[in-house]
Amino acid sequence: PLMYTGLSNYTFPDDFIFGVATSAYQVEGAWNVGGKGESMWDTYLHKHPNYTADGSNADIATDSYHNYKEDVKMIQYLGSSHYRLSLSWPRILPKGTDNYISEDGKRYYRNLLEELIKANITPMVTLFHWDLPNPLMDLGGWTNPKMVDYFEDYARVVFELYGDIVKVWTTMNEPHQHCYNGYGTTYFAPALNAHGIGEYLCTHYILLAHAKAYRLYDKEFRPKQHGQLGITLDAFWAEPKNASSQEDRDGAEAYLQMHLGIYAHPIFSGNYPDFVRQRVDNMSLQQGFTRSRLPYFSQEEVEMLKGSSDFFGLNHYTSYLMSPCAGENYQKPSMDDDTGVCLEQHPSWTKPGADWFSVYPEGFRKLLNFVNNNYVQKNNISIIVTENGLCDHGGLKDYERIAYYKKYLYQLLLAKNLDNVNIQGYVAWTLMDVFEWSDGYKTKFGLFHVDFNSPERTRTPKLSAKLYKEIVRTRQIDFDYLSPESSRYQS
């Protein structure tokens, strides 16, 4: 096994981007301030106060609406050149539609973005990180084909408002997590549990909305604003449980196609992967449906989708071992049942903070290679890792996070230098402890600790903040830095 000691033999080039990320609902708070409309997360958690693990919501969160200047100072402390943030759609358009733009929302983001520019930090702005305006949720959210137009209208408003200073955009954050957990299960709001149909409708219209916003930017804004626009997709690495078993290898491939290919293939090649098309069509037919549960794109839509991202935004946290498994494990119909694999994690992979999360750094390198081979090289683009980080239960001496960042960043260096994967940047999740969706405030991903009992939401750097700062500064990984047991780290 690889020894993680001493100084890394590879370094990050000067033009390599280092950033940190947050998202609007997870940090802003001020849920009803200044005429902000409700997002579907606001509405859902007010209606179901016990939905989250600790009965919390993000009405206040880290109160970044009021504390944004401090956030910018923290990013400066880290030396990070980029900040990935998202806009709250209902803060800008309280009802979701563009007939009324909130002055307060307009001003808030202008102030925040200008504060970043003043500090020499480049904003990377996501249009949609899950906080849909609730009035649009009432109309079916992403299952409604009309959402494609409403998203385009929203995109036009924000390109007009901020395109002078925002040069890196992403449309959607992790559509897979959003559609699968929110529309196909109950794990995320809106908890529709419309398994087998809802997650595919959501996928379909989110893809079209993304592509429409891309074409809009390309045609009307890029000529004068000269920015880049992409999308952020998430993926676990799928490893065959038993590498010598053909069934397990097929299972791992099926998983990657059904979860990542289903988005990446339309965006880079115009349509769903053949495997996904056939699998869902066949399952639907067997189950007595007249039409496939996965909608079809028209030829015009295929053209609109094809090549609709200037870079590949990739979020990655953890890996799973895959093996085929019979349907009794899953609800029918469902995306899980269609995929037909069972997931587990190797007992030797440590689990620092949540059931779903275990540490397997080599999986990151393998995923970077998969993405590079399938989508990046062919399209002559590059990867920006838009999220990666570790969850634990809190504490300032976060040695597990330190070890995680060192090892995952080292695997990135191996992918870049040994495998020639084209990687332009890396964004750590997250700047500070935030509202962690259904986990509430119980699991922590932050480089800064946030005291959620203090009215000021006091921020304190963890040891991992020091480490990240050092990596950004030296452009190298020193495995012995801030390591209580440096010589004993093994993969």
- Which residues have a catalytic role annotated? 174, 387
Q: Which lies closer to ligand GBH via its Cβ, residue 174 or residue 310? A: 174
- Residues 6 or more apart whose Cβ sits within 8 Å of residue 176: 203, 233, 234, 235, 259, 260, 262, 263
Contact predicate 469/8, CB 8 Å? no
- Token code pair at residue 227: 């920015």
Q: Which lies closer to ligand GBH via its Cβ, residue 221 or residue 445? A: 445
Among residues 375, 429, 441, 479, the one that binds ligand GBH under rule CB under 6 A: 429
Q: Which amino acid, residue 286? A: Q
Q: What is the smallest separation between the CB atom of 335 and ligand GBH, expressed in angstroms?
A: 13
d(CA 219, CA 286): 43
- By CB under 6 A, the residues from 445 to 474 that bind ligand GBH are 445
Q: Which lies closer to ligand GBH via its Cβ, residue 163 or residue 446? A: 446
- The site map against ligand GBH for 180-209 (x = CB under 6 A) is -------x----------------------
Candidates 171-179, 199-207, 249-257, 271-279: pick the segment binding ligand GBH (CB under 6 A).
171-179
Among residues 97, 177, 228, 350, the one that binds ligand GBH under rule CB under 6 A: 177
DSSP collapsed to 3 states, 403-438: HHHHHHHHHHHHHHHCCCCCEEEEEEECCECCCCHH
Q: Which helix (H) or strand (E) holds 1?
A: none
- Residues 6 or more apart whose Cβ sits within 8 Å of residue 59: 29, 31, 42
- The site map against ligand GBH for 85-124 (x = CB under 6 A) is ----------------------------------------
Contact predicate 380/394, CB 8 Å? no
Q: What is the smallest separation between the CB atom of 166 and ligand GBH, expressed in angstroms?
A: 19
Q: Which lies closer to ligand GBH via its Cβ, residue 297 or residue 468? A: 468
Among residues 77, 275, 289, 356, the one that binds ligand GBH under rule CB under 6 A: 356
Q: Which lies closer to ligand GBH via its Cβ, residue 173 or residue 483? A: 173
For residue 28, which of 80, 78, 85 has the smallest C-alpha distance?
85
Candidates 154-162, 172-180, 221-229, 367-375: pick the segment binding ligand GBH (CB under 6 A).
172-180
Among residues 239, 387, 398, 433, the one that binds ligand GBH under rule CB under 6 A: 387
Return the number of other C-beta atoms located less than 10 Å from residue 163's C-beta.
Answer: 20
d(CA 166, CA 94): 22
Q: Which lies closer to ligand GBH via its Cβ, residue 301 or residue 392? A: 392
- Which residue's CB comes closest to ligand GBH? 356
- By CB under 6 A, the residues from 306 to 335 that bind ligand GBH are 315
| DSSP one-letter code for 145 | T
Among residues 436, 459, 462, 477, the one that binds ligand GBH under rule CB under 6 A: 436
341-344/319-324 β-pairing: antiparallel
Under rule CB under 6 A, residue 128 binds ligand GBH: no
d(CA 402, CA 411): 14
Q: What is the smallest separation between the CB atom of 318 and ligand GBH, expressed in angstroms?
A: 8
d(CA 256, CA 249): 11
Q: Which lies closer to ligand GBH via its Cβ, residue 12 or residue 404? A: 404
Q: What is the smallest separation between the CB atom of 297 and ligand GBH, expressed in angstroms?
A: 26
Q: Which amino acid, residue 343? A: L
DSSP collapsed to 3 states, 11-60: CCCCCCEEEEECCHHHHCCCCCHHHCCCEHHHHHHHHCCCCCCCCCCCCC
Interface positions with ligand GBH (CB under 6 A): 23, 26, 173-174, 177, 187, 315, 355-356, 387, 429, 436, 445
